[in-house]
Amino acid sequence: MALIVQKYGGTSVGSTERIKNVAKRVARWKAMGHDVVVVPSAMSGETNRLIGLAKEISATPSPRELDVIASTGEQVTIGLLAMAIQEEGLKAKSYTGSQVRVLTDSTFTKARILQIDDERMRKDLAEGNVVVVAGFQGADENGNITTLGRGGSDTSAVALAAALKADECQIYTDVDGVYTTDPRVVPEARKLDTITFEEMLEMASLGSKVLQIRSVEFAGKYKVKLRVLSSFQDEGEGTLITVEDDKNMEQPIISGIAFNRDEAKLTVLGVPDRPGIAYQILGPIADANIDVDMIIQNVGVDGTTDFSFTVNRSEYTKAMAVLEQVKQHVGAREIVGDNKTCKVSAVGVGMRSHPGVASQMFRTLAEEGINIQMISTSEIKISVVIDEKYLELAVRILHKTFGLDQA
């Protein structure tokens, strides 16, 4: 007998019909003799609707009240799901985050979990209940309701699994696992049986939206066995997210090709090559709350240098405006930008022990005449910024060249 935490995303609980299906799945796990804690999201679209209501009242809603409102989506699904499980002839009890006591800090709309009280859940489980806990929410030390950021019920589930020392945390979603790349771009993409935490983190931060990044960090830190599965299929092992396994000689060098369509590039031309320049350019960008992704500074020639960086496309105009302001001050010749760029990355822990991955990637792109505008690397990832019109082509050929295409 095992203790399983199952998280169901918004589409999986998107209607009462689907909630009944979730209850049937839970009943099957119970029938196998397992203890089950279920963590649903709000019905799909519901959190957006609730936040929309708040914005109809106020353009700048109070974060505390926003959390009071946004957290209700999950309060509805836990009640409905507990009832549906009872209809299956099982005992079930639902709890909001604050009832369990998912203790968080007080950062409304993006709170962090500090501690989870597992006593009551254990007692309910021991009495044969399925325990249904609202995802996405908790309460701070003063009892204020908090939420964990969009997509936060993944993190709720992982944190509950860690607190309960569950045998496995299963994330049920509308895809049947983690893929080598987006199957909409590359039909030959394959589902991965396993992926390491590190790779999953890179894939998630590079735009693969299967899991909230923070939930992956959490699972890695607390060694929670995490599995992504489809809630629309009865069979299948999904994708298991694992710690790196040195003994696994079959491990491919590259596990996936990730991409991000929303990359915009800004370049400050002809700035004096002296200490403090990077700070003078990026300081104001950070002050404007703009996240910077890649950064490149050229080797200085004749006492000046060029400085480029990328931001999310939605922040391009704002970043341009900031640069126009600092231009004079830093003594730059010109500011140029391009918001028609994208980022493509090869990810794989196998890179550590296999030199030559970068050159293979660059050669493959060159053979297709794709110009690389920027490059950045980490131990397990190589990213390039290219013209957005080559995105699909680049992803397809890299997927192929690294042997990821389905046979």
| Residues at the site binding ligand ASP, with contacts judged by CB under 6 A | 10, 41-42, 47, 73, 135-136, 150-154
User: Out of ligand ASP, Mg ion, none, which partner does residue 146 contact, by CB within 5 to 8 A per kind?
Assistant: none
CB of 401 to ligand ASP, least distance (A): 35
Q: Which is nearer to ligand ASP, 47 or 339 (CB)?
A: 47
User: Out of Mg ion, ligand ASP, none, which partner does residue 266 contact, by CB within 5 to 8 A per kind?
Assistant: none
Q: Which residues are annotated as a binding site?
A: 7-10, 47, 74, 173-174, 179, 184, 209-210
User: Out of Mg ion, ligand ASP, none, which partner does residue 94 contact, by CB within 5 to 8 A per kind?
Assistant: none
Q: Tell me if 81 sits within 8 A of 13, measured CB to CB.
A: yes
Q: Which residues are annotated as a binding site for ATP?
A: 7-10, 173-174, 179, 184, 209-210
User: Out of Mg ion, ligand ASP, none, which partner does residue 136 contact, by CB within 5 to 8 A per kind?
Assistant: ligand ASP
Q: Which residues are annotated as a binding site for substrate?
A: 47, 74
CB of 158 to ligand ASP, least distance (A): 12
CB of 402 to ligand ASP, least distance (A): 32
Q: Which is nearer to ligand ASP, 136 or 390 (CB)?
A: 136
> CA 56, CA 86: separation in Å to the nearest integer?
37
CB of 136 to ligand ASP, least distance (A): 4
User: Out of Mg ion, ligand ASP, none, which partner does residue 97 contact, by CB within 5 to 8 A per kind?
Assistant: none
Q: Which is nearer to ligand ASP, 150 or 327 (CB)?
A: 150
